[in-house]
Amino acid sequence: MKKREKNTKEWEYEQLTDSLEEKAPSQEKADAPQETESLEDILLAREQRNRKKQSADRKLKNLSPEQLRKLDKRAAKRRRIWEVFKLSLATVVAAGFAILFLMPIVLTITNSFMSASEIASNYGTVFQTNANGGKVYISEKVNLKFIPDMVSFSQYATVLFKSPEYLLKFWNSVILVGPIVLFQLVLATLASYGFARYSGKIRSIIFFTYVILMLMPYQVTLVPNYLVSDWLNILDTYWAIWLPGIFSPFAVFLLTKFMKRIPSSMIEAAQIDGAGEWQIYRRICLPLCKGAVCSAAILVFIDYWNMVEQPLILLSDGETHPLSVFLSKINSGEVGLAFAVATIYMVPTLLIFLYGEEYLVEGITYQGGVKG
């Protein structure tokens, strides 16, 4: 037995000396060579690790089944505590960010139920102007209040009943955005079906053009849109807003990626059963892309509901401007009504998002595949 241990130590000694000889040239090239432990220290540390491992194995073998179960329960309890700690920490961080992001919305909604005098006393210094209409330096602290001293519906009464101008701007927004969302989705589903079903050089060039146009900001295409609208004699009409919005490439790009993921075997099976292109589009592609269509509808609605540049440039008549443009004018004049009008303006977006949240998440994460 001693002879075997001696042979083992000699073999380990030879292996370590060989490795040290191989590493010697690289160590000589180093500018500042590190001090290496002696061979005896390395062997001693290895023997200590082996002894600890053997002693731990002997202890585990000597334990009873009940003691082993207790150890397993203790280890599982520690893992659960660690998982709960990580989950709690992530929840606290997410809740902190959620509070920061929701604070302006909550502040707007709660302050919309304040009276005009209370709003002026709390935020009057923010909106003060001098004789020339410029902003005044704020020397006082602004009092941010989330709970009104007395709930008042006077601002909503003024907006909804006493001043029809606000409702007129609201319906202008609906008239401008509704046709854009509807017809853009109709054209986008048809174009996406064509891009997904057929391939070729011409198809690739057209789709690449769609991508380039989608990446361009609206400020880049604003002047061409203005010139084309002037050439078509639709300037200062709703058509100047509708046509560029209806033919926007965003929904086409989004839906094409979804339709491409539909298995070709399903389409081939439908063709074998005698289905034409219209039936394949209506009965296979559209139902499978329901989540994608809803996602595109929500994103397109939010984008055009908040538009400002298009009406300002393409519509010179202020009576046809949407509420998104009119909000800035409200802030400069009647500060008390700004919160109420902003709250009313947020209602359609919030309702559509809350109603279509499931479809939006499904459309983004699902990526147009087929459920099993």
Domains, the chain, in order of start with CATH, read 158-366 (1.10.3720.10)
Cα dist from 146 to 60, 149, 156, 197, 301, whole Å = 61, 10, 18, 54, 29
**How many whole angstroms separate alpha carbon 108 and alpha carbon 105?**
5
pLDDT tens, residue order, the chain (372 aa): 444 444 444 544 454 445 444 444 444 444 444 445 577 777 777 877 777 776 666 666 666 677 667 777 787 888 889 889 999 999 999 999 988 888 888 888 888 888 777 777 777 656 555 556 555 555 556 667 778 878 888 888 888 888 788 888 888 999 999 999 999 999 999 998 888 888 888 888 888 888 888 888 888 888 888 899 889 999 888 999 999 889 888 888 888 888 888 888 888 888 888 888 888 888 888 888 888 888 889 889 988 998 888 888 888 888 888 888 887 676 555 667 888 888 888 888 888 888 877 777 766 665 444 443
Tell me the pTM: 0.69
Query: Rounded distance, CA 105 to CA 346, Å?
Result: 9
> CB of 207 within 8 A of CB of 214?
no
Q: In the 8-state DSSP scheme, what is residue 38?
A: P
Place of tokens 């002696």: 38
Q: For the chain, count helices (H), then strands (E).
A: 18, 0
